[in-house]
């Protein structure tokens, strides 16, 4: 009886609609939070921060954002890279225009600006559906990248068109710029991730989330029972872009420190984040984390395995890495099309019955 729900009674509707209705789940959740906040900041080093944890956290925000749009509202988007670029360039302009304002405010505002842009590009979703919409969002992807590359105002007319994050502080501690300690990088990302995940969870368990899911599962029926498709879809685009904008802002300001739009926010980024959602599980916040962790860790793990341990030439490992990532994606889709989150649910159901499966 490792995992049980029997004897866990609810006496109020509020208790029943909480995020982790089962007690052992709740404890595990608090344990994860305690480790993330109380242990990791003290042991983290540059490698773990920059190669694994910070990108994992930032991609988690992007994956949650895209999952709201694609997983909950059913609108497939390939414009994630472009929207992340909006977040990055917004935060850059805000940081350089108003250096006295806190970076936290700038990141949130960058999310807001991205939400506006995302909503505008979400308008065609009212007429265009399915793959046609997915391809249409590529218009946003390519156009936004072109725009940030072309218009000098966005990159303050720097010679190469690159943007670099100046040093900014939160409570006297540097969180952007070269002198940022790994724990500071990690903590600011963790703070945003925690808030974003809670907000996403709140939205998806309430009436807004039900509207999105209704649109996803059957848009015509949803409209007939009273869901306004315009506001439902646009709110999904807005909220999704808000998260993606925040992740883009952090990606630029905290993680990379300097970006070039076509390279950092190209079409590959859009696919990567979509992969995270699908491998993790569409329509699952936990899945967004699982997918982000999987796709951040997998290449690093393969590289450590191939180059450091087996001593293969790095080019062969890089090629094999493509093969392995591709094969694993296909394997996962065949074995569990609903992603890691579903795998986890199935495992839990088995655990609940363990050791007496009947």
Helical spans, DSSP H, in 163-228: 182-205, 207-217, 219-224
Contact status: 57 vs another protein (CB under 8 A): no
Binding residues among 101-140 for another protein as defined by CB under 8 A? 124, 127-132, 135-136, 138-139
For residue 39, the minimal CB distance to another protein (Å) is 13
Near another protein by CB under 8 A: residue from 29, 35, 313, 350? 313
Contact status: 327 vs another protein (CB under 8 A): yes
Q: How many Å apart are CA 309 and CA 300, to the nearest integer?
A: 12
At residue 176, the 3 state secondary structure works out as strand
For residue 52, the minimal CB distance to another protein (Å) is 7
Binding residues among 244-273 for another protein as defined by CB under 8 A? 255-260, 262-264, 267, 271
Cβ partners under 8 Å of residue 249, min gap 6: 87, 88, 90, 91, 106, 107, 110, 111
Q: DSSP for 212-266, please give it.
A: HHHHHH-HHHHHHTT--HHHHHHHHHHHHHHHHHHHHHHIIIIIISEE-HHHHSS
Cβ partners under 8 Å of residue 155, min gap 6: 89, 92, 148, 161, 162, 163
For residue 212, the minimal CB distance to another protein (Å) is 11
Near another protein by CB under 8 A: residue from 14, 38, 42, 172? 14
Q: How many Å apart are CA 318 and CA 320, to the nearest integer?
A: 5
Near another protein by CB under 8 A: residue from 333, 346, 349, 354? 333
Binding residues among 69-88 for another protein as defined by CB under 8 A? 70, 76
Q: How many chain residues bind another protein (CB under 8 A)?
A: 121
Binding residues among 18-37 for another protein as defined by CB under 8 A? none
Give yes or no for a contact between 94 and 156, defined as CB atoms under 8 angstroms apart.
no
Contact status: 301 vs another protein (CB under 8 A): yes
Q: Which among 160, 139, 164 is positioned nearest to 149, based on CA atoms?
A: 160
Contact status: 146 vs another protein (CB under 8 A): yes
Contact status: 150 vs another protein (CB under 8 A): yes
Nearer to another protein, 31 or 327 (CB): 327
Nearer to another protein, 25 or 355 (CB): 25
Contact status: 293 vs another protein (CB under 8 A): no
Q: How many Å apart are CA 256 and CA 51, to the nearest integer?
A: 11
* H/E stretch holding 174: strand 173-176
Nearer to another protein, 104 or 305 (CB): 305
Angle at 120 between CA 118 and CA 121, to 5 degrees: 65
Contact status: 48 vs another protein (CB under 8 A): yes
Contact status: 221 vs another protein (CB under 8 A): yes
At residue 204, the 3 state secondary structure works out as helix
Could you identify the residue written with the tokens 């990141």?
A: 107
Contact status: 343 vs another protein (CB under 8 A): no
For residue 282, the minimal CB distance to another protein (Å) is 8
Contact status: 6 vs another protein (CB under 8 A): no
Q: How many other CB atoms sit within 10 Å of the CB of residue 173?
A: 12
Lookup: tokens for 67: 């999952």
Contact status: 305 vs another protein (CB under 8 A): yes
For residue 37, the minimal CB distance to another protein (Å) is 18
Binding residues among 175-214 for another protein as defined by CB under 8 A? 177-179, 199, 202-203, 205-208, 210-211, 213-214
């Amino acid at each position: 009886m490792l995992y049980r729900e029997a004897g866990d009674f609810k006496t109020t509707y509020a208790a029943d609609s909480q995020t982790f209705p089962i007690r052992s789940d709740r404890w595990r959740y608090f344990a994860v939070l305690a480790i993330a906040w109380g242990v990791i900041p003290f042991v983290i080093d540059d490698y773990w921060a920059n190669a694994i944890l910070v990108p994992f956290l930032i991609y988690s925000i992007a994956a949650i954002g895209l999952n709201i749009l694609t997983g909950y509202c059913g609108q497939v988007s390939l414009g994630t890279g472009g929207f992340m670029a909006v977040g990055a360039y917004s935060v850059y302009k805000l940081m350089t225009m108003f250096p006295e304002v806190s970076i936290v405010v700038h990141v949130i505002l960058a999310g807001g600006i991205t939400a506006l842009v995302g909503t505008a590009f979400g308008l065609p979703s009212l007429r265009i559906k399915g793959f046609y919409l997915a391809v249409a969002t590529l218009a946003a992807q390519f156009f936004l990248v072109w725009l940030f590359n072309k218009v000098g105002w966005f990159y303050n007319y720097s010679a190469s068109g690159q943007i670099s994050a100046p040093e900014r502080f939160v409570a006297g501690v540097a969180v952007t710029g070269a002198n940022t300690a790994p724990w500071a990088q990690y903590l600011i990302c963790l703070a945003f991730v925690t808030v974003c995940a809670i907000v996403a969870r709140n939205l998806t368990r309430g009436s807004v989330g039900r509207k999105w899911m209704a649109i996803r599962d059957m848009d015509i029926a949803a409209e007939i029972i009273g869901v306004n498709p315009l506001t439902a879809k646009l709110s999904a685009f807005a909220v999704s872009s808000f998260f993606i904008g925040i992740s883009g802002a952090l990606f630029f300001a905290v993680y990379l420190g300097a970006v070039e739009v076509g390279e950092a926010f190209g079409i590959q980024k859009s696919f990567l984040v979509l992969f995270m959602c699908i491998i993790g599980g569409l329509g699952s916040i936990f899945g967004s984390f699982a997918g982000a962790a999987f796709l951040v860790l997998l290449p690093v793990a393969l590289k450590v395995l191939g180059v450091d341990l087996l001593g293969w030439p790095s080019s062969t490992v890089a090629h094999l890495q493509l093969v392995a990532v591709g094969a694993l994606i296909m394997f996962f889709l065949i074995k569990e099309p609903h992603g890691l989150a579903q795998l986890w649910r199935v495992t839990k159901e088995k655990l609940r019955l363990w050791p007496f499966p009947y």
